[in-house]
Amino acid sequence: MIGRAVAAALLVPLLCGAAFSQGPSLPPIAKEDMPLLPAPPPVEDGGTGDAAYAAYQRGAYVTAMEFAQRRVRENRDAASAMTLIGLLHENGFGTRRDTAQAAEWYGKAAAAGDTNAMVSLALLKLEGDGTAKDTKGAADLFEKAAGRGDPLARYNMGLIHMQGESRPRDPKKAAEDFRVAAEAGNADAQYAYATMLREGQGVAEDRVEGARLLGLAAAAGHGDAAVEFAISVFNGDGVPKNEERAAVLFLESALRGNVIAQTRVARLYAAGRGVEADRIRAAAWYMIAREKGAKDRYLDDVLAGMTEDETVKAEGRAAALRGESARAGTAGLDAPPAGGQ
């Protein structure tokens, strides 16, 4: 059994570095894997919804293209129809993937004032995909879309103001961009603004508000925010200290594949902090984390000190945990925390 004093030393807070505190650590400009488009009511029953977008939502991409093209020809809400056509070309939905065609359609829609098209075209310009690489032009488009209230564009402007490339580096402007996007519900922005608040970078330090925003981003499924929020709860940093609750939060992230959370869970089990001490579970979680490249000298010593029988049990437990991780959306936690909380 590891003594409490030693255990405390072993659980030094592992704070993830700010995602934007240094140039090389900046996250890429955000891009949603599948752009979220409005889900209008169907028109088959005499409704007044948008037939093109309704078809898109059903996965009837060829039909969506036909309806969108008809709307352009008839000049009925043509800007959003052109954006949809660009989206279909960019992703190869119902047609051959053609980013040059996508950029052309996004350009037409952006000129007509569609903010989704502005963001999509900006992303293509950043990558030089289907159009000339143009970081300044991309920043201009993000800025225009942000001015029209697009949260993703506003978040990306925050990154741009931190990078200091196509715009002068300005942490204060970045913080304001992140704040506005965070208030609109963008989880990446909530995490970014929380980090700036906690570091006092570009804004007055406020670790309580920073912890609150980490919690919001974590609840929205932001992996890094979830781990940092768990760390905050464990240490009582901006939020009431609660090791049992932190253990639950770490376990949730560990089951979802976060390697930092997996090593934290292993240490919690090894030290008996927030959960009942359990060398088998500690070793099992560390075995899983090591498969992803994690290295931890203390946990290496835990593994080295195990008997052959304990190692076999840990390997079996690790196999079971991999199955739980694969079902993380519906699986329960590995074990209840100490005290039945």
> Quick check: 172 and 165 in contact, CB under 8 A?
no
> What mean pLDDT do residues 141-154 have?
96
Average pLDDT, the chain: 85
User: Residue 15: pLDDT band by 50, 70, 90 thresholds?
Assistant: very low
- Would you call 178 exposed, middle or buried from its count of C-beta atoms within 10 A (0-12, 13-18, 19+)? buried
Domain boundaries, the chain: 242-341
User: Does residue 16 carry a pLDDT above 70?
Assistant: no
Query: What local confidence, expressed as pLDDT, does residue 328 receive?
Result: 61
Nearest CA among 243, 246, 214, 241 for reference residue 230: 246
User: Does residue 9 carry a pLDDT above 50?
Assistant: no
Query: What local confidence, expressed as pLDDT, does residue 326 receive?
Result: 74
User: Does residue 291 carry a pLDDT above 70?
Assistant: yes
Nearest CA among 165, 166, 167, 163 for reference residue 192: 163
191-206 pLDDT, tens digit per residue, is 999 999 999 999 999 9
User: Residue 251: pLDDT band by 50, 70, 90 thresholds?
Assistant: very high
* H or E element in which residue 161 lies: helix 151-163
User: Residue 325: pLDDT band by 50, 70, 90 thresholds?
Assistant: confident
Instruction: Show the tokens assigned to 336.
Output: 């209840």
Report CA torsion sign: 238, 241, 243, 245: negative
User: Residue 31: pLDDT band by 50, 70, 90 thresholds?
Assistant: low
68-123 pLDDT, tens digit per residue, is 999 999 998 899 999 999 999 999 999 999 999 999 999 999 999 999 999 999 99
User: Residue 243: pLDDT band by 50, 70, 90 thresholds?
Assistant: very high
User: Does residue 17 carry a pLDDT above 70?
Assistant: no
* Least trusted range by pLDDT, from 32-36, 275-279, 294-298, 306-310: 32-36
DSSP codes, 132-189: ---HHHHHHHHHHHHHTT-HHHHHHHHHHHHHTSSS---HHHHHHHHHHHHHTT-HHH
Query: What local confidence, expressed as pLDDT, does residue 327 receive?
Result: 73
Query: What local confidence, expressed as pLDDT, does residue 160 receive?
Result: 96
User: Does residue 46 carry a pLDDT above 70?
Assistant: no
User: Residue 40: pLDDT band by 50, 70, 90 thresholds?
Assistant: very low
38: left (phi over 0), alpha (psi -120 to 50) or beta: beta
User: Does residue 50 carry a pLDDT above 60?
Assistant: yes
* Least trusted range by pLDDT, from 17-31, 234-248, 249-263: 17-31
> What mean pLDDT do residues 163-187 have?
96
Query: What local confidence, expressed as pLDDT, does residue 12 receive?
Result: 31
User: Residue 38: pLDDT band by 50, 70, 90 thresholds?
Assistant: very low
User: Does residue 283 carry a pLDDT above 70?
Assistant: yes
User: Does residue 34 carry a pLDDT above 80?
Assistant: no
